[in-house]
């Protein structure tokens, strides 16, 4: 009887140990997601090397002249990283595009300048790097698009619409302007009338706000937004769309009923991920960047 109890106790210890190991395994953080593609340094700031990741489609050759999409991640200029568009980039590469995701400097509490000046400077530097290396990357320098979500959408629109904000070390003879914009609940208005980021940029908002820099030579834009977005009101989006159309610029606003900020994030199979990717594909196909 004592032996049976001893065996039972040993079994309980083994089971408890197994449960503990299982709980520890569950608690162990997953490996950080890495950006898809090959890393290159596009700029050095002090001792820091800023990178971008280039994803090439199957069958890629250096002599190709493929269209390219450059993606900027969201995070309010203070967070996030260049993995947000891994899934979208992978799907576009499957359609023959070269895709790029950009790392840029984030704002910190220690920054004397609280505006996103260094974010926009990095975005322009990255676009210039991509265009300057078009031959090596196998891309058409006249078919480079910019895309992004939230604050990353702001950077994508900024490089396409706003003059200035350049890094002093950039070769300004190389244009940072994309030929198309794919914007996922982007921050486009930094002004005092329902704009986002006004508390940070203040009276300097016109230096940063794409909505206040609309002109006839802006690139065509796809703008996707949830109707319940608490950061970007639908009225602001419609005002931007109207301003673009008044300037003779193609702007397609797509509203997603009942959806909040970041609704497009996810993976294939998620309804709003699939819907926004389909809209992006249709838009790029209309430009001739994706074959029928």
- pLDDT, tens digit, for every residue of 66-100? 999 999 999 999 999 999 999 999 999 999 999 99
Residue 259 located in a structural domain:
yes
Residue 2, pLDDT > 50, answer no
pLDDT value for 32: 61
State whether 130 and 42 are in the same domain. Answer: yes
Domain co-membership, 7 together with 42: no
- Is 112 part of a structural domain of the chain? yes
Residue 50 and residue 264: Cα distance in Å, rounded? 26
Are residues 149 and 15 part of one domain? no
Q: Which of 97, 227, 229 is nearest to 150 (CA)?
A: 229
Give yes or no: residues 12 and 97 share one domain.
no
Verify that 259 and 192 share a domain, yes or no.
yes
As a whole number of angstroms, the distance between CA 39 and CA 16 comes to 45
CA distance 208 to 221: 18
pLDDT exceeds cutoff 60 at 50: yes
Q: Is residue 148 located within the same domain as residue 211?
A: yes
* Cα–Cα separations (whole angstroms), residue 220 to 91, 111, 116, 204, 215: 21, 34, 24, 26, 11
Same domain, 17 and 156: no
The answer to whether position 292 is within a domain reads: no
Task: Convert the pLDDT of each residue in 215-265 to its tens digit.
Answer: 999 999 999 999 999 999 999 999 999 999 999 999 999 999 999 999 999
For residue 33, what pLDDT band results from cuts at 50, 70 and 90?
Answer: confident
DSSP β-bridge partners for residue 82: none
Contacts of residue 2, defined as CB under 8 A and 6 or more positions apart, other chains included, come to none
Tell me the angle at which helices 86-93 and 271-286 cross, rounded to the nearest 10 degrees.
Answer: 40
User: Domain containing 22: what range?
Assistant: 1-30
User: Which residues are registered as beta bridge partners of 252?
Assistant: 222
Residues 122 and 57 in one domain: yes
**Which tokens sit at 175?**
């244009």
The CATH number of whichever domain residue 186 belongs to comes to: 3.40.50.1820
**20 domain residue, yes or no:** yes
Provide the angle, in degrees to the nearest 10, between the axes of the packed helices 151-161 and 117-132.
60
Residues 183 and 203 in one domain: yes
Provide the edge-to-edge strand list for the sheet that holds 98-102: 38-45, 48-55, 98-102, 66-72, 139-149, 180-184, 221-226, 251-256
pLDDT in tens, 117-143: 999 999 999 999 999 999 999 999 999
Instruction: Pick the range with the lowest mean pLDDT from 2-6, 40-44, 211-215.
Output: 2-6
Structure tokens at 28: 């162990």
- Residue (of 164, 246, 237) closest to 196 by Cα position: 237
The whole-number average pLDDT for the span 159-188 is: 98
pLDDT above 90 coverage of the chain, percent: 86
Torsion of CA 189, 195, 196, 200, to 10 degrees: 100
226 falls within a domain: yes
Q: What is the pLDDT of residue 227?
A: 98
24 lies in the same domain as 121 = no
| Total domain count, the chain | 2
Q: Report pLDDT for 12.
A: 39
> Is 160 part of any domain?
yes
pLDDT of residue 27 exceeding 90: no
pLDDT bracket for residue 110 (50, 70, 90): confident
Kindly state whether residues 41 and 23 are assigned to the same domain: no
Indicate whether 66 and 25 sit together in one domain.
no
The 10 Å Cβ neighbour count of residue 36 is 18
CB-CB neighbours of 264 under 10 Å = 26
pLDDT of 13 over the 80 cut: no
């Amino acid at each position: 009887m004592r032996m049976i109890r001893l065996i039972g106790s040993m079994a309980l210890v083994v089971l408890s140990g197994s449960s503990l190991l299982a709980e520890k395994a569950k608690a162990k953080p997953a490996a950080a997601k890495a950006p898809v593609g090959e890393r290159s340094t596009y700029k050095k700031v002090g001792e820091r090397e800023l990178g971008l990741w280039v994803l090439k489609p199957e069958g890629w050759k250096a002599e190709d002249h493929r269209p390219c999409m450059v993606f900027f991640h969201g995070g309010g200029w203070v967070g996030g990283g260049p993995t947000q568009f891994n899934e979208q980039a992978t799907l576009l590469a499957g359609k023959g595009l070269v895709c790029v995701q950009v790392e840029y400097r984030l704002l910190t509490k220690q920054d004397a300048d609280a505006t996103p000046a260094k974010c926009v400077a990095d975005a322009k530097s990255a676009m210039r790097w991509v265009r300057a290396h078009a031959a090596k990357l196998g891309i058409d320098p006249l078919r480079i698009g910019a895309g992004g979500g939230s604050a990353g959408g702001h950077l994508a629109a900024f490089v396409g619409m706003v003059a200035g904000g350049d890094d002093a070390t950039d070769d300004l003879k190389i244009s940072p302007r994309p030929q198309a914009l794919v914007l996922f609940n982007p921050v486009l208005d930094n002004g005092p009338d329902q704009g986002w980021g006004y508390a940070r940029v203040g009276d300097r908002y016109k230096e940063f706000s794409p909505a206040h820099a609309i002109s006839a030579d802006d690139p065509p834009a796809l703008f996707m937004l949830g109707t319940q977005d608490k950061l970007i009101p639908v009225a602001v989006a419609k005002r931007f769309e109207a301003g673009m159309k008044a300037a003779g610029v193609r702007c397609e606003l797509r509203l997603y009923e009942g959806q909040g900020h970041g609704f497009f994030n996810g993976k294939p199979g998620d309804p709003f991920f699939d819907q926004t990717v389909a809209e992006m594909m249709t838009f790029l196909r209309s430009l001739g960047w994706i074959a029928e």
